[in-house]
Every structure is written in C-alpha cells, then in structure tokens.
Amino acid sequence: MATAQKTEPVTTTPEQIVREFLFAVQQGDHEKLKTLLHPNVQWEQPGNNRLSGTKRSMAEVFEMGRIMGEWSEKTVKLAAIRHYGVTGNTVAVQLRWTAAQPTGNVLDVSNIDIYTVENGKITHVKIYSENILQEDRFWGK
C-alpha cells in the first residue's frame, strides 16, 4: 500500500523575493516584476531631479522606469548587485547603476536600496544614493 507523501509548503523569503526582483530588472522582465511588486508599492526616489519623490503605485514605478530608459537612450543598467543584508522582512542591497546620454553625460553610481516585503510582495522601497548630485545632474530638472 502506497502512503501519501507530505509536501512541505514552499516559502519564499524576503531575500528571495528581492533577488528575483533585481534579476528581473536586469533581464527587463516586466511580467515577472509585476508578480513581485505590490500594486500600491511606495517607492522613495531621492534627490532633486525629474524622477525624485515618492511613487505610490506599481504603475508609477513602471512609468519612472520607462522615463529612465527614454532619457538615457535605453542605456540605464543595473550593472552590479553587491551585497544583501536581511532583518526580518526588510532587505538592504548595494547596487551599481550605469547609464550614458548622447551629450556625454554619464551616470555611474552605487545605491543602497531598502526593500520591505509583505506576503510575498515588495511593498516599500527606499533608495539611498552615494552621489545624489551626480544623479540630479544626469536626470535633470
């Protein structure tokens, strides 16, 4: 007589969610990104430029990404994911972003991004830039 096997529930940790999110960003996989962001995600973009401020939905975050691609002539790239630190449902990640504009203006900046994950979705993101002046110059007013 065969016995039924117990299957353990699949648990996805906040770090796994953020890793999947960042890999999807690198791959440009918008469908995957939609599965990982909460529809009402709060995204705090620092600085004093055209992209700065709090985005209050997935749609606003996607629009910010579209504008970044447009203004950088589609050169904006998540060039490196360096470190992860996790406390509870919060994940801190060091990232390096690069981009170039036809004018010769270059972006090459590291950030610390803080992600909050609840029920398998990213609900809050706060970005800390190592060089906000460079970002402000690149993205403009």
Question: How would CATH label the architecture of 14-132?
Answer: Roll (3.10)
Euclidean distance between CA atoms 18 and 87, whole angstroms: 13
- For 3-36, how does the pLDDT look when each residue is reduced to its tens digit (9 = 90+)? 555 555 556 899 999 999 999 999 999 999 999 9
Report domain extents, the chain: 14-132
- What count of other Cβ atoms lies within 10 Å of the Cβ of residue 85? 12
Phi/psi of residue 134, each to 5°?
A: -65, -40
Euclidean distance between CA atoms 44 and 48, whole angstroms: 12
Euclidean distance between CA atoms 51 and 81, whole angstroms: 22
Contact criterion met (CB below 8 Å) for 48 and 37:
no
- For 83-138, how does the pLDDT look when each residue is reduced to its tens digit (9 = 90+)? 999 999 999 999 999 999 999 999 999 999 999 999 999 999 999 999 999 999 99
